[in-house]
Amino acid sequence: MLNQILSVNKLNLRFPETNFHAVHDISFELYQGETLALVGQSGSGKTLTALSILGLEPVNSSISGQILFKDTFLLNNSESLPSKNRKYPENIRGKHISLIPQDPLSALNPLMTIYQQLSEAYLIFNKKTSTQELEHLCISTLEQVGIADPTRCIKAYPHELSGGMRQRILIAMAIINNPDLIIADEPTTALDLTVQAIILELLKSLKRTMLFITHDMGVVAEVADRVIQMDSGKIVKSASVFDFSYN
Ligand SMILES: Nc1ncnc2c1ncn2[C@@H]1O[C@H](COP(=O)(O)OP(=O)(O)OP(=O)(O)O)[C@@H](O)[C@H]1O
Ligand SMILES: [Mg+2]
């Protein structure tokens, strides 16, 4: 029996001002070690679903449903609740669930070195880490994401690195706390094709539990075990990657 990591049950997200129902009764499970692809057209609600899991949905929305992460409820409201009043548990986001965002340049701080940003991601949850320990961890994490010269790389600023390198840094930031779940929102869309292939290989090699958002069916075939497809805020299909590609 596989361990369930995440269970989303009847998740709904609405924008009361416009009466727009962006996410409609979404339910799915995610098990340890698997990569679940979330696919669908632009505007179908993929990112809002991901943000709801992270407790980062827009403040002008209202939310209802259950989101269970291991044994912690991230959301447990059958009635619609203004998102600004939602209480999201501490020490989950960034530690147990991390996000690999779409745009590697805007997600990094241009004024901070790679070392400053990577170490900050770790220090938030591990305040009493010695400098030596921290340096060692940053270097070994950069090695894990395939950075060839990590001692040089940690001194660099984001603009000194290529798009592919920057995405590797964001992946390093997403794994440095050894999370149970990684949410990747179109992690390769901003990269050119050859770099995309390399980053996909890297993500696969990490063998993590992942919710992988993409609109690229080639990427789905490459990385996913199962696929759910959204359309206009609803799940319209859920299948193994084999059945999905076959159809
Ligand atoms: N803050 C907001 N206020 C109002 N509507 C919003 C807000 N954020 C998103 N939406 C709307 O909700 C719908 C779903 O958005 P979402 O970003 O989840 O789509 P998506 O599936 O991730 O699309 P894409 O593939 O383009 O990233 C869209 O119609 C979008 O315009
Ligand atoms: Mg999106």
CA of 53 to the centre of ligand 1 (A): 15
| Residue-averaged pLDDT of the chain | 93
Q: Is residue 79 part of a domain?
A: no
- pLDDT for 247 equals 64
Q: What is the pLDDT of residues 196-219, one digit of tens each?
A: 888 899 999 989 999 999 988 888
Atom in ligand 1 nearest the alpha carbon of residue 23: 14
**pLDDT for position 246:** 67
In a domain, 163, yes or no: yes
pLDDT of residue 134: 96
Examine residue 214 and state whether it is found in any structural domain, yes or no.
no
Task: Quote the percentage of the chain above a pLDDT of 90.
Answer: 80
* Any domain includes 216: no
Tell me, yes or no, whether 220 lies in a domain: no
Q: List the chain residues with pLDDT less than 50.
A: none
Tally of structural domains, the chain? 1
134 is a domain residue: yes
Does 40 map to a domain?
no
Residue 169 has a pLDDT of: 94
pLDDT (0 to 100) of residue 241: 86
Q: The domain that contains 127 carries what CATH number?
A: 3.40.50.300
Residue 17 domain-assigned (yes or no):
no
State which residues form the domain around 161.
97-178
What's residue 69's pLDDT? Answer: 98
- Under a CB-based contact definition with an 8 Å cutoff, are residues 93 and 151 in contact? no
DSSP string, 135-147: HHHHHHHHHHTT-
Binding pocket residue ranges, ligand 1, CB within 6 Å? 15, 20, 22, 40, 42-48, 58, 60, 215
- Between the alpha carbon of residue 198 and those of residues 55, 96, 162, 165, the distances in Å are 30, 25, 13, 11
